[in-house]
Amino acid sequence: MFKAIFTNSFGILVSRILGFLRDLLTASALGANIYSDIFFIAFKLPNLFRRIFAEGAFTQVFIPAFSRSLHKGVFSANIFFIFLSIILSITLLVNILPTLATQAIAVGFDDKTIALAAPFVAINFWYLPLIFIVTFLSTLLQYKHHFATSAFSTALLNLSLIAALYLSEDKSQGEIVFYLSWGVVVGGILQLAVHVLAIYKMGFAKLLYGGFRYVRVKSILIQKETRKFKEQFFPAMWGNSTAQVSAFLDTFLASFLVTGSISYLYYANRIFQLPLALFAIAVSIALFPRVARYIKNKDEHQALLYLEKAFWFLAFLLTASTIAGFMLSKEILWFLFERGAFTAQDTANTTAVLQMYMIGLLPFGLQKLFLLWLYSNEMQMRAAKIATFSLAAYIFFALSLIAPFGVSGLALASTISGFVSFVLTIDAFGRKKFFDILLKKKAIYLVGGAILLTILLLIFKDLLRVYI
């Protein structure tokens, strides 16, 4: 398990380092203004659909269904064609009516800004079908416990965007956004290419070829499997979508605030997502196939042992990340972004947003771990209900906090919804089982380590004031 975690974490780390370099260059070229807002809007919409449609929910339902299927090739091909046809239809609709799609996510933009953003939204949306195919192939690779290709492939998107920024040097900000938008599409093509190569090397090519060839003839054989997949997928999709819908609403509400607010949310969220992806998501991806297998074989004890190991591993890392991220938020943003068009005022505004996000790192990260238990036990509907309550909490607090706190109030509302979601997930997992894990000697070490780290960071922060 820990080898798979290391592979995922290292791949994510490489990708995120390149991602920060990309963001550094983007911040320097565009700053936090209307053009940066336009690009983040254009890139956010396909990413929203990707995360809701294609990633977590698809993997969590497909892997158990694929392992149970007696006709794996035909089942895979059938699911692939169903999803790809839906996603291509959405993509074509957005390209036919890009203005409506832009208005849906940025209602606060005026007509002139929407007209500027619409063409870029249409271009960026072609990333969605490409990345769905990548996700489909990645899920098959995970079934074979091959994680490296997917973990490292996101780096190709970042390299493509860095190349786009390099090629658009000395051009107008509108042209830079145009280059970045096509850089997103090229990045998706590169990710697809390496996954196709990995599928061939892992021996899946023959299985998929047979499935695609005979899917129409043999589709009757997998009707029951397909129906069960659909029944489980849609609750799973909603259960995985809370954070993404919240991010969508963040952008929607931030478009009513001062120019640059969307960019403040984006840059702060990029920092917040690093430890979340590096630790929580990497652990969840590696752990899920094992927990699902033990649950399927009715070996709950062994599944809980793996979950407990992962819990303490995450608890220590996420606690340290929360404390460091909150206390050094200004210094981190200053070091990464404050240059070129990104001003000291932009750093101050983004710092307030990042601190609100960092408070929610621990519940967001640990919830991903315990959600695996729900999906392994086919409790998709319970997860969907939790997501609904969490989203309702976000909407209530976002509308309550946006007036007094502005854009940082939106980040705080997201954090509060994370706590709500975590508490409800633990209730579904089982309070007794959770406290059996929590009431260990490791909890004392966790608290002591957190206090020591806080003291050390206070000293370090005081020394940094000389330079900032």
pLDDT in tens, 50-84: 666 545 677 777 877 787 778 888 888 888 988 89
Q: What percent of the chain has pLDDT over 90?
A: 23
What is the residue-wise DSSP string for 179-197?
HHHHHHHHHHHHHHHHHHH
Selected residue with higher pLDDT from 279 and 341: 279
Angle subtended by helix axes 242-254 and 223-240, to nearest 10 = 50
- For position 387, what pLDDT does the model report? 87
- For position 58, what pLDDT does the model report? 78
Output the 3-class SS for the chain: CHHHHHHHHHHHHHHHHHHHHHHHHHHHHHCCCHHHHHHHHHHHHHHHHHHHHHCHHHHHHHHHHHHHCCCHHHHHHHHHHHHHHHHHHHHHHHHHCHHHHHHHHCCCCCHHHHHHHHHHHHHHCCHHHHHHHHHHHHHHHHHCCCCHHHHHHHHHHHHHHHHHHHHCCCCCHHHHHHHHHHHHHHHHHHHHHHHHHHHHHCCCHHHHHHHHHHHHHHHHHHHHHHHHHHHHHHHHHHHHCHHHHHHHHHHHHHCCCCCCHHHHHHHHHHHHHHHHHHHHHHHHHHHHHHHHHHHHCCCHHHHHHHHHHHHHHHHHHHHHHHHHHHHCHHHHHHHHHCCCCCCHHHHHHHHHHHHHHHCCHHHHHHHHHHHHHHHHCCCHHHHHHHHHHHHHHHHHHHHHHHHHHCHHHHHHHHHHHHHHHHHHHHHHHCHHHHHHHHCCCHHHHHHHHHHHHHHHHHHHHHHHCCCC
Selected residue with higher pLDDT from 376 and 187: 187
49 pLDDT higher than 60: yes
- For position 379, what pLDDT does the model report? 82
Residue 423's CB is within 10 A of a number of other CB atoms, namely 15
Pick from 35-49, 180-194, 334-348, 431-445 the range whose average pLDDT is largest: 180-194
Selected residue with higher pLDDT from 244 and 165: 165
pLDDT in tens, 355-407: 999 999 999 999 988 988 888 787 878 888 898 899 999 999 999 999 899 99
- For position 4, what pLDDT does the model report? 63
- The residues, any chain, with a CB within 8 Å of residue 279's CB and separated by 6 or more, are 9, 314, 317, 318, 321, 365
Give the mean pLDDT of 402-429: 93
- For position 360, what pLDDT does the model report? 93
- For position 272, what pLDDT does the model report? 92
- For position 215, what pLDDT does the model report? 79
Give the mean pLDDT of 215-238: 78
pLDDT in tens, 132-186: 899 899 888 887 777 778 878 888 988 999 999 888 887 887 888 889 999 999 9
Span of 24-33, 44-53, 300-309 with lowest mean pLDDT:
44-53
- For position 462, what pLDDT does the model report? 66
